[in-house]
């Protein structure tokens, strides 16, 4: 219950609960209703946006597990997405495999790549690890490009929509519910994982890997596990992306895409699943908001052709600002606002005033 002086946990069970207060229950119920009703009112454009957000949420959750919880920096996220998309595209093109083959196959490729991407993490930390995963990105991208040119699909590989018992997944609204279901599953999975023993080991190796080792946490196995889980979720997203867009091209998986995902983690708020969701929403919608803003302000209409560049610059700027001024991301802002209202009229100060 929310009380005037704040909300306190009175048993260990409460500590593990996902939904803590009545207010949260009500808010969540309202949110679910909105989510369910949305596709029946939204225009196709907005439906497409929602679907893109849903796709991003899965991959952002994956990166959040790896970077935000297990503390392993990866700059190979676009490479993994590409691997998933290309596994799907290649299997479809070469042997005409249906989605119930390509999707698990992508996951298997993801698991293998997770091991490959994760192996360097056993020897390297922080910066050096980031650099290795970046290098792996280039290798995956090269392999994808090779496939495209060698097989003569230099503009990309087209994939037809998944179908089951004659039902084809083409409509935006159908996609909406499929992806929403995926999101719910993935987010619940991640939330539970984070609360589990494994999840706590992730946090332990993020915060103090030497201490974790001393406590008997199998650091190497845990690191690899984090990479594998994250990677499987990412390649699955890549596979879904291939179907959703009906088209796979290596041009779509640039370093910039990786940076967008890293930005989702940073802007959303590292170390929080809510952060992954908020970050995904923010980053996917950002360019559209910028473009709308340019169109709205009459004086800047002539800039519409430069929208792409403006978007780039603004995105870089936002990332810089978050990194410097709000390392806790949107979640940090959200929590401060919430505490402010919960504790009002009392002012909340951290322990120890210094700094």
Partner 1 sequence: MTESPPMLRLEKVEVVYKKVITAIQGVSLDVQQGQIVVFLGTNGAGKTTTLRAISGFIGTDDAWVTEGRILFEGQDIANWPPQKVANRGIALVPEREKIFETLTVMDNLEASVGAGASRATRKRMIDTVFDHFPRLATAKTRLAGYLSGGERQMLAIGSALLCEPRLLLVDEMSMGLAPRLVEELLDHIVTLKKTLGLTILLVEQSAHLALGIADYGYVIENGRIVLDGTRERLGGHKDVQEFYLGQGGGDARKSYREVKQYRRSRRWYG
Partner 2 sequence: MQVLANLVVLTAIYALISCGYVLIYRVSRVLNLAHGELMMLGAYLLFTLASLFKGGPELAFAGAVGLSLLVGFVLYVVLMRKMTGELVIAAVLVTIALGILLRGLMVLIWTARDLHPISVLGWKNPPVPLGGGTSISSVALATILVAVVLYLALMLFFRYTRWGLQMRAVGERPLLAAQRGIKLHAVYALAWALSTFSGGLAGMLLALDSGLGSTMVIVGLKAFPAALVGGLDSLLGAVVGSFIVAAAEILAIHFIDPLISDVVPFVVLIAMLLVRPWGLFGTKEEIERV
Interface residues with partner 1 (CB under 8 A) are: 350-355
Total of residues contacting partner 2 (CB under 8 A): 42
Is residue 115 at the binding interface for partner 2, with CB under 8 A as the rule?
Answer: no
Is residue 275 at the binding interface for partner 2, with CB under 8 A as the rule?
Answer: no
Which of partner 2, partner 1, none interacts with 355 (beta carbon under 5 to 8 A by kind)? partner 1
Which C-beta is closer to partner 1: that of 4 or that of 351? Answer: 351
Which C-beta is closer to partner 1: that of 43 or that of 353? Answer: 353
Is residue 203 at the binding interface for partner 2, with CB under 8 A as the rule?
Answer: no
Look up residue 47 and give its two tokens: 């439906």
d(CA 214, CA 93): 50
Roughly what angle, to the nearest 10 degrees, separates helices 77-95 and 99-118? 140
Which C-beta is closer to partner 2: that of 107 or that of 113? Answer: 113
Which of partner 2, partner 1, none interacts with 323 (beta carbon under 5 to 8 A by kind)? partner 2
- Tell me which of 24, 312, 333, 335 binds partner 2, using CB under 8 A: 312
Roughly what angle, to the nearest 10 degrees, separates helices 172-195 and 22-41? 160
Look up residue 13 and give its two tokens: 């069970």
Cα dihedral 52, 54, 60, 64, rounded to 10, equals 170
- Tell me which of 256, 340, 344, 346 binds partner 2, using CB under 8 A: 256
d(CA 304, CA 308): 8
Which of partner 1, partner 2, none interacts with 42 (beta carbon under 5 to 8 A by kind)? none
User: How far apart are CB 130 and partner 1 at their closest, in Å?
Assistant: 23
Cα dihedral 163, 164, 170, 172, rounded to 10, equals -140
Interface map 123-162 toward partner 2 (x if CB under 8 A): xxxxxx-xxx-xxx-xx-xx--xx--x-------------
User: How far apart are CB 352 and partner 1 at their closest, in Å?
Assistant: 4
Cβ atoms 284, 52 nearer than 8 A: yes
d(CA 172, CA 149): 31
- Tell me which of 108, 297, 309, 337 binds partner 2, using CB under 8 A: 309
Look up residue 284 and give its two tokens: 């996917």
User: How far apart are CB 323 and partner 1 at their closest, in Å?
Assistant: 17
- Tell me which of 16, 324, 350, 351 binds partner 2, using CB under 8 A: 324
Segment 289 to 308, residues that bind partner 2, using CB under 8 A: 306, 308
Cβ atoms 245, 86 nearer than 8 A: no
Q: Which residues are registered as beta bridge partners of 173?
A: none
Is residue 313 at the binding interface for partner 2, with CB under 8 A as the rule?
Answer: yes
Q: Considering only CA atoms, which of 236, 243, 268, 71 is closest in space to residue 157? A: 243
E-assigned strands of the chain?
157-158, 163-164, 167-168, 247-248
Q: What DSSP designation does 2 have?
A: -
Which of partner 1, partner 2, none interacts with 100 (beta carbon under 5 to 8 A by kind)? none
Query: Residues interacting with partner 2, by CB under 8 A?
Result: 73, 120, 123-128, 130-132, 134-136, 138-139, 141-142, 145-146, 149, 256, 259, 262-263, 266, 306, 308-317, 319-320, 323-324, 327
């Amino acid at each position: 219950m929310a009380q005037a002086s704040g909300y306190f946990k009175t048993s260990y069970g409460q500590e593990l609960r996902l939904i803590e207060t009545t207010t949260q229950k009500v808010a969540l119920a309202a949110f679910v209703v909105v989510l369910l009703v949305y596709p029946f009112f939204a225009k196709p454009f907005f439906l497409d946006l929602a679907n893109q957000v849903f796709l991003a949420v899965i991959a952002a959750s994956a990166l959040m597990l790896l970077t935000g919880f297990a503390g392993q920096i990866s700059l190979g996220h676009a490479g993994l997405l590409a691997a998933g998309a290309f596994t799907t595209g290649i299997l479809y093109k070469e042997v005409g495999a249906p989605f119930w083959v390509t999707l698990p196959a992508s996951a298997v490729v993801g698991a293998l790549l997770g091991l490959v991407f994760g192996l360097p993490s056993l020897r390297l930390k922080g910066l050096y690890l980031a650099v290795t995963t970046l290098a792996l990105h280039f290798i995956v991208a090269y392999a994808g490009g090779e496939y495209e040119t060698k097989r003569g699909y230099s503009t990309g590989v087209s994939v037809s929509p998944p179908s089951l018992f004659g039902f084809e997944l083409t409509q935006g609204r159908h996609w909406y519910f499929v992806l929403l279901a995926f999101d719910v599953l993935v987010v619940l999975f991640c939330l539970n994982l984070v609360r589990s023993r494994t999840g706590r080991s992730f946090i332990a190796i993020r915060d103090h890997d030497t201490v974790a080792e001393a406590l008997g946490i199998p650091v190497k196995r845990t690191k690899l596990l984090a990479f594998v889980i994250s990677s499987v979720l990412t390649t699955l997203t890549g596979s879904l992306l291939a179907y959703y867009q009906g088209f796979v091209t290596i041009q779509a998986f640039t370093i910039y895409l990786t940076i967008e995902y890293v930005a989702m983690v940073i802007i959303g708020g590292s170390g929080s699943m809510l952060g992954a969701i908020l970050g995904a929403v923010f980053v996917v919608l950002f360019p559209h908001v910028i473009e709308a803003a340019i169109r709205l302000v009459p004086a800047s209409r002539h800039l519409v052709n430069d929208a792409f560049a403006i978007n780039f610059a603004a995105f870089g700027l936002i990332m810089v600002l978050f990194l410097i001024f709000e390392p806790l991301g949107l979640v940090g802002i959200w929590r401060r606002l919430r505490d402010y209202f919960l504790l009002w009229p009392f002012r909340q100060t951290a322990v120890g005033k210094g700094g």
